[in-house]
Amino acid sequence: MSQLELREAASPPLTITDAARQAPDAVLAALGSGPDGLSQAAAVERLDAVGPNAVRTHEASAWSVLARQFRSPILILLLITAGLSLFLGDATNSLVIGVILLVSVGLGFSNEFRAERAAEALHSRVTHTAVVVREGAAAELDVTALVPGDVVRLGLGAIIPADLRLLAAKDLLCDESILTGESLPVAKTPAPVTEKASLGDLTSCLFMGTVIQSGSCTGVVVATGGRAEFGRIALGLGERQPQTEFQLGLKRFSFLLLQVAIGLTTLIFAANLLLQRPVIESLLFSLAIAVGITPQLLPAVVSTSLATGTRQLARRRVLVKRLVCIEDLGDMDILVTDKTGTLTEGRITFTAALPVAAGPDPGELFTLGLLATEADYTAAKASVIGQNPLDAALWESPQAAGFTPAGHERLDIIGFDHLRRRTSVLVRDGAGTPRIITKGSPEDVLALCGPVTAEVQALLDAQFDAGSRVVAVAAREAPGLADLTPADETGLRLAGFLVFLDPPKANARESLDRLEALGITVKIATGDNAKVAERVCDELGVLSGGTITGAEAEAMSDPELSAAAREASIFARVSPEQKARIIRLLRQSGGAVGFMGDGVNDALALHQADIGISVDSATDVAKDAADVVLLDKDLGVLADGVMEGRRIFANTIKYVLMGTSSNFGNMFSAATASVVLSFLPMLPGQILLNNLLYDTGQLAIPGDRVDREQLLAPAHWNIGFIRRFMFLFGPISSLFDFATFGLMLFVFNAAPGEFRAGWFIESIATQTLIIFAIRTRRVPFLRSRPSMGLLGASLGVVALGIFLPLSPLAGLLGFDPLPVPFFLALLGMTVVYLVLVELAKQWFFARTAQQPPAPVLPRVRRRGRDHRMARRAARFSTPGAARRGPLEPRRGRANRRKRNRVQGPSRPRKP
């Protein structure tokens, strides 16, 4: 055993409750750490002992993927039917169903597992880091590498990476709603708490998964992974996630099939009993009809489509956290986005310091800006890690090279928050008088400086009109002041403006055109001044529908803002709460809204959106809240993702429409013939073999071409549309089935074996070839070409369907040889059938009922606490196989399964 393990074995680990009651120095001592953090050697030793700071693993699990294949109601129906067939002595029927099961499960498993492996690789590229002090040096470290005793520095918007005991804090407020449900933030200080404080009253501690709403702090890690309070709760939730619109649509479709199957099966079984047919034969035939009416390989087609989409998006550097979110991406028709990095380059550069009259010179104004940064100005020049983009641009500018921190002493600071929109510091130069320096948005800083002269306003307006980002700087002397509070931010004198430039992207116009062609309305939500946002839009040639400022939005009621938001293109100077409100109202007005953001102030809106989109370079808060992460911040990449989502949905619906209409027609024909004929028109095994061949040919659909018009607008599950399609094209199929019945009975005087062989071949030919008519609303082949894969698969299935009744297996399958004239008649009937289907298709899609309905009811996506817990837990995830830390107490097998492959030990129970 290592020394650490011996110490742990001798005394139980320090709990967060115990740490809250002790002084910071005592906690550091108990954890074997200090103000300079751990040594690298000690950190490595502890990581090996306690395991990664993780409550999830994004490793693709073959067993989990295999288990998911059997959750489909269609496959469950197949499994039950196979069992009943075997029990009732029909080995052939059971064998055919078993083959169908193996094909469906095998294809679904292979494609979904490949997709999860791709998602695993992409997930590993999205890192979540924290600033950790080790051996006295600060560096960014992956949150999963944190161990007890690590000293961590955190600022505004950071998600707490582990359970921490505060060592130092400044104006610290923490949002603990994910743990406690309380919406109001909690004030935190390093002072020890009383002996009997409850978990919610541990004001000297920060909890894993909670968010810093304002201020900054330094803390020492007390508990990680499953030992942390958040980790313990997250483990109990498992991997549950809310269902997406696509999943809900699949569920509604399954219920439709279930209703049709039950109704048709019951009628057939009752009719056969009334005709005094054998009970077992009637039951097997009825079960075959129930199975035959369902598109058995729908799960495989869906998983194949999603796997194909995942691979396509991976090539475009897009990470989809859950495969089914690809469908939601294609569903989007409104995109709200920040302009920085999407419409602009996202590389902010400092351009000028503009003093006002009687103010300091440009060099002094620049120095004031450096002193008013949240980062420690004595070290900020060496590293801009953790700084906001504007402060980082100041420190990276050439002028910063001449700054000497030794001549300044910072006494206090009030950090930036999105309500005040400014940072204030109390600074003393040498032995001089302390002074307050405030830096922030011009509107908020000018409000603290008294009346604004026309000259100052003209100077500011000129910069806004030029599209520049502007930060105002103001100061005043504060003799005798040692601690700074917001109440001290009065009586300031404006020093001038710091000007920054973020030019428009060269390809932004092209990306906007692509989104517009896809029917997506792009709106901009920014914390910048309205004139700056409007200038960027003008430079890109974007026609604006109007601008709403945060102040104007605040004054509007929900109905007023909802109506205005549908028309407006720009939302300027909006707070995080206002962004979230705008997203919510846009959704409630009927749109499927996507939100793209990368900052702390975007997290609320990302949670409100139908599809949250962020980027790899975003803050942890934004990445955690997003459904999709772009590894490149580019609207063009987003357009690719939207097209991929719509392509997948279009191909999935192709299979659904073809499968349900053809299967319904065939099963209706079989049901009718079983009542009229003195023998079964097709044996149960033959029905299932027919469906297996047909469905196997349709597995090429996920790779099929999609007509461009199908990508220009989002499509949704429409059960009424599917039902109408099924009830029109199914009976058309039955008409030709009945024609085949007449041909076999009255022309060829066919025996049962010949009858079944003739209908088997006609059924395979018609329902397989109809794919080329139904796959497009255009004229097939002439104006819409199928993929070579689909063409080859379909013709191959028809050839195999014709071969089987003529092959040596014919007797085993229950088929008799057919006369040659039958095939000539079959060719003629197939041509007439395809022409009639094409005419019916043109009539069907021309009707008003088939046009996409305008959204009437709001489609509000409700997300509860469990969803937010599962989402936030995803950041504490490692790609490797799960393992149990050496210090973890042994547990039962069932309990280990419940812990969901935790990496690292669980938090021990308190005595």
Q: Can you tell me whether residue 366 is helix, strand or coil?
A: helix
Compute the residue count for the chain.
911
Confidence of residue 882 (pLDDT cuts 50, 70, 90): very low
Q: What is the pLDDT of residue 893?
A: 33
Average pLDDT over residues 213-223: 88
DSSP state of 522: E
Helical segments of 397-549, H only: 442-446, 454-465, 508-517, 530-540
The rounded mean pLDDT for the chain is 79
Q: What is the DSSP string of 820-837?
A: HHHHHHHHHHHHHHHHHH
pLDDT at 556 over 80: yes
Say if residues 325 and 628 touch (Cβ distance below 8 Å). Answer: yes
User: Residue 648 and residue 88: Cα distance in Å, rounded?
Assistant: 40
791: nearest Cα among 697, 708, 707, 702 = 697
The torsion angle over the Cα atoms of residues 142, 146, 151 and 154, rounded to 10 degrees, is: 40
pLDDT at 758: 93
Q: Which ranges of 358-405 would DSSP assign to H, the alpha helix?
A: 362-371, 389-396
Task: Report the candidate in 238, 236, 223 with the shortest Cα–Cα distance to residue 910.
Answer: 223
Going by the DSSP 8-state scheme, the letter that residue 38 receives in this structure is B
Question: Strands 493-501 and 469-477, how do they pair?
Answer: antiparallel
What is d(CA 645, CA 705) in angstroms, rounded to the nearest whole number? 14
Query: Residue 622 and residue 423: Cα distance in Å, rounded?
Result: 22
- Under the banding of pLDDT at 50, 70 and 90, the label for residue 863 is low
Does residue 76 contact residue 299 with C-beta atoms inside 8 Å? no
In a 3-state reduction of DSSP, which class is residue 728? helix
pLDDT in tens, 288-319: 777 666 666 666 677 677 777 777 777 777 87
The three-point CA angle 424-425-427 to 5° equals 150
Residue type, 234: A
Mean pLDDT of 848-867: 52
Q: Residue 892 pLDDT more than 70? A: no
381 burial type by CB count under 10 A (0-12 exposed, 13-18 middle, 19+ buried): middle
- Tell me the mean pLDDT in the region 230-245: 65
Q: What average pLDDT does range 521-532 have in this prediction? A: 86
Residue 387 pLDDT? 67
What SS3 class is residue 452?
Answer: coil
Select the highest-mean-pLDDT range: 67-81, 284-298, 736-750.
736-750
CB atoms < 10 A from the CB of 641, how many?
A: 25
pLDDT at 900: 35
Q: Of 71, 578, 45, 511, nearest to 303 (Cα)?
A: 71
CA–CA separation, 205 vs 179, rounded Å?
14
Q: What is the mean pLDDT of residues 844-848?
A: 79
Asked if pLDDT for residue 775 goes beyond 80, the answer is yes
pLDDT-based confidence at residue 891 (cuts at 50, 70, 90): very low
pLDDT value at position 126? 62
Residue 216, helix vs strand vs coil: strand
Question: Average pLDDT in the 410-417 region?
Answer: 84
Cα–Cα distance measured from residue 467 to residue 686, given in angstroms and rounded to the nearest whole number: 72
At position 11, the amino acid (one-letter code) is S
State the pTM of this model: 0.69
The three-class DSSP label of residue 172 is strand
- Count, in order, helices (H) and strands (E) of the chain: 34, 23
- Report the SS3 class of residue 911: coil
Residue of higher predicted confidence among 243 and 491:
491
Q: Rounded to 5 degrees, what angle do the CA atoms 334, 336, 340 make?
A: 145
Burial of 483 (0-12, 13-18, 19+ CB in 10 A): exposed
Q: Which amino acid is at 291?
A: V
Q: Is the pLDDT of residue 28 over 90?
A: yes
Flag the least confident range among 177-191, 774-788, 805-819, 839-853: 839-853
Q: How far apart are the first and last CA of the chain?
A: 26
Does the pLDDT value for residue 784 go beyond 60?
Answer: yes
Q: Write out the catalytic residue numbers.
A: 338
Position 300 scores a pLDDT of 66
Calculate ∠ Cα 808-814-819, nearest 5°: 70
Query: If pLDDT is split at 50, 70 and 90, which confidence band does 115 have?
Result: low
Answer yes or no: is pLDDT of 908 > 50: no
pLDDT higher than threshold 90 for residue 162: yes
Helices 508-517 and 635-676 pack at an angle, to 10 degrees, of 20
pLDDT digit string (tens) for 383-408?
A: 555 567 788 888 888 888 778 877 88
pLDDT of residue 383: 55
Sign of the Cα pseudo-torsion (339, 342, 343, 345, in order): positive
Q: Which residues of 318-337 are buried (b: 16+ CB within 10 A; e: fewer)?
A: bbbbebbbbbbbbbbbbbbb
Asked which of 210-219, 454-463, 491-500, 727-736 is least confident by mean pLDDT, the reply is: 210-219
At 795, the pLDDT band (50, 70, 90 cuts) reads: very high
Q: What is the dihedral of CA 831, 833, 837, 843, to 10 degrees?
A: 100
DSSP for 57-74, please give it.
E-PPPHHHHHHHGGG-HH
Is 702:301 a contact under the CB 8 Å cutoff?
yes
What does the pLDDT look like over 566-583, one tens digit per residue?
A: 889 999 888 877 888 898
Q: How confident is the model at residue 899 (pLDDT cuts 50, 70, 90)?
A: very low
Mean pLDDT of the region 244-253 = 67
State the average pLDDT over residues 99-121. 69
pLDDT for 895 beyond 70? no
Share of the chain residues as helix, strand and coil, in percent rounded to the nearest 5: 55, 15, 30
Answer whether residue 667 shows pLDDT above 90: no
Confidence band of 482 (pLDDT split at 50, 70, 90): confident
Could you give the CA distance from residue 387 to residue 157 in angstroms, rounded to a whole number?
Answer: 12
Q: How far apart are alpha carbons 438 and 300 in whole angstroms?
A: 61
| Cα Rg of the chain, angstroms | 34
Is the pLDDT score of 666 beyond 50? yes
Q: Is the pLDDT assigned to residue 828 strictly greater than 70? A: yes
Q: Give the amino acid at 383.
A: S
Q: Does the pLDDT value for residue 796 go beyond 90?
A: yes
pLDDT at 461 over 80: yes
* C-alpha atoms less than 13 angstroms from C-alpha of 143 in its C-beta half-sphere: 29
Give the DSSP H or E segment for 496: strand 493-501
Q: Between 611 and 543, name the one with better pLDDT.
A: 611
Cα–Cα distances (Å) from 193 to 22, 173, 909, in that order, read 8, 17, 21
- DSSP symbol at 54: B
d(CA 582, CA 214): 23
CA–CA dist 692, 114 (Å, integer)? 24
* C-alpha–C-alpha distance, residues 387 and 373, integer Å: 8
Residue 656 has pLDDT above 90, yes or no: no
* pLDDT of residue 766 exceeding 80: yes
Q: Which residues pair with 904 in a beta bridge?
A: none
Asked if residue 46 has pLDDT above 70, the reply is yes
DSSP one-letter string for 653-673:
HHHHHHHHHHHHHHHHHHHHH
Contact 651, 303 (CB under 8 A): no
Structure confidence at residue 902 (pLDDT): 33
The answer to whether the beta carbons of residues 306 and 115 sit under 8 Å apart is: yes
Q: Please report which confidence band the pLDDT of residue 188 belongs to, taking 50, 70 and 90 as the band edges.
A: very high
At residue 789, what is the residue type?
A: G
Residue 144 has pLDDT above 50, yes or no: yes
What percentage of the chain reaches a pLDDT higher than 90? 19
Which pLDDT value is given to residue 868? 65
The answer to whether 233 and 57 have CB atoms below 8 angstroms apart is no
